[in-house]
């Protein structure tokens, strides 16, 4: 009887040891998976944004509309040729809903309307330029001349935020804004943006 109980105790100890080992193994496995995911996200966040890779003659346009609402519709329409989006009307509605909650104009003639699309895997941008500008709700009362439209999936806003941050750094320069508004062709606009980005990437290059 004593031998039987002793055997039971050994078995119980082994079972608890096995359960503990399994718990540690599963915890380690979960931790590895979590750290792997975290590392990937952190790596994505550290990846530098480059306007040269995002903005080109394909997604910068001169806007011909004469009102803010029509300009948003016109700019959004270009997404159909640039992306897999099939229902442009939902993007327009998304942008307008966001506009009702928070005006996208940042002043200095620049606005950053934003929309959400479930059809996208990553963010896209279209920049519309109108020298005369549009009357809209602006903090400084100046007409909006440069509209930076961005559309992104709801689950991936980090790249969109990084893009806006970098673009704001460039467009806050009054000389850059003036140069863009004085251009006659889209290729000139692209050249100004790309030259600015190149200077950021290699500030010691005097040929830029």
Which residue from 161, 155, 105, 98 is spatially nearest to 135, judged by alpha carbons? 105
Q: Given the structure tokens 């692209």, which residue do they identify?
A: 190
Q: State residue 65 phi and psi, 5-degree precision.
A: -65, 155
Structure tokens at 175: 């000389």
> 149: which strand partners?
126
* CA quadruple 180, 185, 190, 192: dihedral, nearest 10: -40
Q: Residue 197 above 60 pLDDT?
A: yes
Query: Cβ neighbours of residue 44 under 8 Å, at least 6 residues apart?
Result: 158, 159
Q: Residue 60 above 80 pLDDT?
A: yes
pLDDT at 13: 45
SS3 state of residue 62: strand
Q: What is the pLDDT of residues 77-124, one digit of tens each?
A: 888 888 878 888 888 999 999 888 888 889 999 999 999 888 888 889
Q: How many CB atoms lie within 10 A of CB 128?
A: 26
> 124: which strand partners?
151
Burial class of residue 148 in the structure, from the number of CB atoms within 10 Å of its CB (0-12 exposed, 13-18 middle, 19+ buried): buried
Q: State residue 183 phi and psi, 5-degree precision.
A: -65, 155
- What mean pLDDT is predicted for residues 53-61? 95
Mean pLDDT of the chain: 79
Whether residue 177 contacts residue 144, with contact meaning beta carbons closer than 8 Å, is answered with no
Q: Which residues in 82-112 are b (16+ Cβ under 10 Å) and which e?
A: ebebeebebbbebbeeebeeeebbbebbbbb
């Amino acid at each position: 009887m004593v031998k039987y109980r002793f055997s039971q105790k050994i078995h119980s100890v082994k079972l608890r040891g096995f359960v503990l080992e399994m718990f540690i193994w599963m915890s380690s496995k979960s931790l590895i998976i979590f750290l792997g995911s975290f590392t990937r996200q952190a790596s994505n966040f550290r990846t530098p944004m480059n306007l040269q890779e995002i903005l080109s003659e394909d997604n910068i346009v001169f806007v011909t509309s004469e009102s803010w609402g029509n300009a948003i519709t016109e700019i959004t329409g270009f997404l159909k040729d640039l992306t897999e989006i099939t229902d442009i009307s939902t993007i327009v509605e998304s942008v307008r809903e966001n506009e009702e909650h928070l005006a996208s104009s940042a002043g200095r003639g620049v606005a950053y309307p934003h929309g959400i699309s479930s059809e996208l895997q990553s963010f896209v941008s279209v920049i519309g330029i109108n020298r005369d500008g549009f009357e809209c709700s602006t903090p400084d009362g100046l007409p909006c001349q440069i509209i930076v439209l961005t559309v992104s999936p709801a689950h991936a806003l980090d790249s969109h935020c990084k893009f806006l941050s970098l673009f704001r750094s460039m467009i806050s320069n009054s000389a850059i804004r003036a140069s863009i508004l004085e251009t006659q062709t889209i290729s000139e606009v692209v050249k100004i943006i790309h030259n600015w980005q190149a200077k950021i990437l290699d500030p010691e290059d005097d040929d830029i």
